[in-house]
Structure 1
Amino acid sequence: MRELKAKKGAMRRRGWTGVSVAALLCAGAWALMPAPAWAESDAVKELAAPPPIQLPLKPSPEFARFPRYAGMLGSRQIVLKLGPKTDDPSGVHGEYQFIDTGEVILIAGDRDGDTLEVEESNDGTHITGNWVGKFAADGSVAGDRMNVDDSDPQPFDLKPLAAGQAVPPPGAPATAAARPAAGTATAPASAAAAGAHAVGGVSNLQTGE
């Protein structure tokens, strides 16, 4: 994945920086307005502004139907929901969630062929990391997640989940299980589930529900 890091500098910054630019433009416009106009603009802004982002972040209904990927980020298991942006042919966005804590992180960036380059944010405003990876023929994606300054690379390896499939325990295959050969004994489902870790008191966490 080292050769992919050189591409990351050319990645378009989306979402997070737009908020700051818009704020600066608005601030310049207010400085030219007379006092009564300021009051009116503030009132209109309060009515038109979206509600503030509540922290910690929660899974978004917007991403609930996106394709899901499960696997490891460093030593922690995550579930990633990733889908295309409607206003950008190469843009992708979504979120990932740590299975052990339930923490949600937003992601946005580009997919160019089999190359994935995205940025993450834990508050919807500030960039907290970069991802660079590649998709394989089977739909899995692997690469490195780094801090904003490209330090502390952590490998990620994620496999696609079938629709409605529960998140498997760490180390178990993430793709739908193949049918066993005739005469082959299979372990009961309860045995497989026994290795799952509970999240908030609920085992077999499924995102998007």
Structure 2
Amino acid sequence: MIRSKQASRACAALTLSVTVAALAALAGCNSPMPKASQGVIPANEREPAGADAHGAQEAIKELALPPKKPLTPNPDYARFPRYIGTLGDKQIEMKLGAKTGPDADPSGVHGEYQIAGSPSVILVAGDRDGDTLEVEESNDGTHITGNWIGKFAADGSVSGERMDPDDSNAQPFDLRPAVAGKTLPPVSQAKPKPAPAAPSLEPALPSAPKNAVGGTSNVIIGE
């Protein structure tokens, strides 16, 4: 009987220890997870609503805008000095004058140039320091599309190089003051060459014998 009671007590103690261990394990499962593993960004670290962290919304808005139209000649530049010459292998006309206004830089110049045969213009703006000309160009009025660096000569002509914004693809330019009334030459159009005549289907006439006079042989046949 004593052994039976001791065995019962041991079994009860074992059952109690197992129950306590199970409860401890369950309590561990219900404990809060570490902050780093929750995957939830605290409210004070979140971006405000409507924020465009990567500029995606701005890019979408810009793509949705209608394409910009080519620039047309500015009537205000019609009174500027005109220069006619070449840019690379293209004929161009440039109107370039001093900037005016209370805040204008005394060395500032601006204007536009036009390639022969094109209805649109490209804006230019920059500085003239003595005989040195440095201007930037823009074909839409917003983005820089080229840089010009040149020197003025005593006769008023200016020559130098036009480059892309990264100073690559240099092209020479040579401009001279335009004579009053002179404009860009019209775009030359090569006249089509006449097509060669089709070969005749008629048999060729026999050629006259050598030493013939007036188409008649001067050889005398003996009697």
Match of 1:197 among 167, 172, 187: 187
- CA drift at 1:198: 6.4
Letter matched to residue 117 of structure 1: E
Match of 1:124 among 118, 127, 141: 141
Q: How does 1:60-71 map to 2 (within 5 A)?
A: 60-71=74-85
Task: Show CA shifts across 1:158-201 (max 9, x none).
Answer: 1111232233x4xxxxxxxxxxxxxxxxxxxxxxxxxx4269xx
Q: How does 1:166-205 map to 2 (within 5 A)?
A: 166-167=183-184, 169=185, 196-197=186-187
Calculate the aligned-residue CA RMSD, in Å. 2.1
Match of 2:173 among 150, 156, 159: 156
- CA drift at 1:62: 1.1
Match of 2:107 among 90, 94, 108: 90
- CA drift at 1:137: 0.5
Task: Show CA shifts across 1:117-139 (max 9, x none).
Answer: 00000000110100000000111
Tell me how far apart the structure 2 counterparts of residues 163 and 156 of structure 1 sit (CA, whole Å).
21
Q: What stretches of structure 2 of length at least 5 have no aligned partner?
A: 1-66, 190-223
- CA drift at 1:155: 0.3
Q: How does 1:43-58 map to 2 (within 5 A)?
A: 55-58=69-72
Percent identity, aligned pairs only? 68
Q: What stretches of structure 1 of length at least 5 have no aligned partner?
A: 1-52, 170-195, 200-209
Q: For residues 54 and 64 of structure 1, do their structure 2 counterparts lie closer, same or farther at Cα, with a shift above 3 Å needed?
A: farther
Q: Residue 134 in 1 paired to residue 125 in 2?
A: no
| More RCO (CA 8 Å, sep 6+) | 1
Letter matched to residue 85 of structure 1: K
Q: Residue 105 in 1 paired to residue 119 in 2?
A: no
SS at match of 1:158: strand
Letter matched to residue 121 of structure 2: V
Tell me how far apart the structure 2 counterparts of residues 57 and 99 of structure 1 sit (CA, whole Å).
15
Q: Number of residues paired by the alignment?
A: 121
- CA drift at 1:54: 6.2
SS at match of 2:76: helix
SS at match of 2:151: strand
Tell me how far apart the structure 2 counterparts of residues 166 and 72 of structure 1 sit (CA, whole Å).
13
Bigger-Rg structure (1/2)? 2
Tell me how far apart the structure 1 counterparts of residues 108 and 68 of structure 2 sit (CA, whole Å).
25
Does the Cα contact within 8 Å between 1:76 and 1:100 map onto a contact in 2? no
Letter matched to residue 127 of structure 1: I
Tell me how far apart the structure 2 counterparts of residues 62 and 101 of structure 1 sit (CA, whole Å).
19
Does the Cα contact within 8 Å between 2:94 and 2:114 map onto a contact in 1? yes
Tell me how far apart the structure 2 counterparts of residues 156 and 197 of structure 1 sit (CA, whole Å).
19
Tell me how far apart the structure 1 counterparts of residues 70 and 188 of structure 2 sit (CA, whole Å).
20
